[in-house]
Amino acid sequence: MVWGLIRDFNLLATSEIRSQSEACSELWMLLRAVGDETPAVDRSPVRGLITARTKIDPVEAIESLRDELHRSPDSFRVLLRIMPIEAVVRTEIGVIAEAAQRLASKIGEGESFRVTLEKRRTGLRSREVIDAVAGGIERRVDLEEPDWVVLIEIVGNHAGVSVVRPEGLLNVQKERAGLPTQG
């Protein structure tokens, strides 16, 4: 599989390595179920990582997928996490920090944030990326209970950047564990 098939991805998802193809199909079906008739979903060269492009705003897509999980938990068989991506930029510290700073304008005065970084297939050092991103955002850092998460997902030459509320990330396993049991 050639990375970049979906260069303008606005969702990233994870699955177990052995379930990656099934997870692609699952995400495609779920995106259709929440209103996107023509989503694009594909495996990345990083095992267990899926890229997707939806016509739905990525933050709204996560909300809709969470609602779908509550309505139909059995529809989520192999997906582990789904994350919105608001901007895709080159994997360069300055470019990533600039995108994060632009998106962080939604963080209100008196609100806090944390930087969450996941990097794959890059030689960049985590500390350098986090320091550059956090240093450009003039708001309070709170690692335990932030009002906002500055999400940086680096995959090779591409970096996905988002600024979302903590509930703007969908961890299927944690969410499912919180659902009322039926029976």
72-97 pLDDT tens trace = 999 999 999 999 999 999 999 999 99
For residue 142, give the amino acid letter: D
Q: How far apart are alpha carbons 119 and 45 in whole angstroms?
A: 14
Residue type, 72: S
Length of the chain (residues): 183
Report the predicted TM-score, pTM, of the whole model to 2 decimal places: 0.92
What number is the average pLDDT over the span 9-34? 96
Residue in the structure block whose two tokens are 């068989």: 77
Is residue 155 a contact partner of residue 49, using CB atoms and an 8 Å limit? yes
Q: Can you tell me the mean pLDDT for 12-34? A: 97
Domains of the chain: 11-85+169-177 (no CATH), 87-166 (3.30.2130.30)
CA angle, corner 81, sides to 104 and 17, nearest 5?
130
| pLDDT per residue as tens digits for the range 30-75 | 999 999 999 999 998 899 999 999 999 999 999 999 999 999 999 9
Task: Report which of 56, 44, 49 is spatially closest to residue 17, judged by C-alpha positions.
Answer: 49
- Rounded to 5°, the CA angle 106-109-113 comes to 65
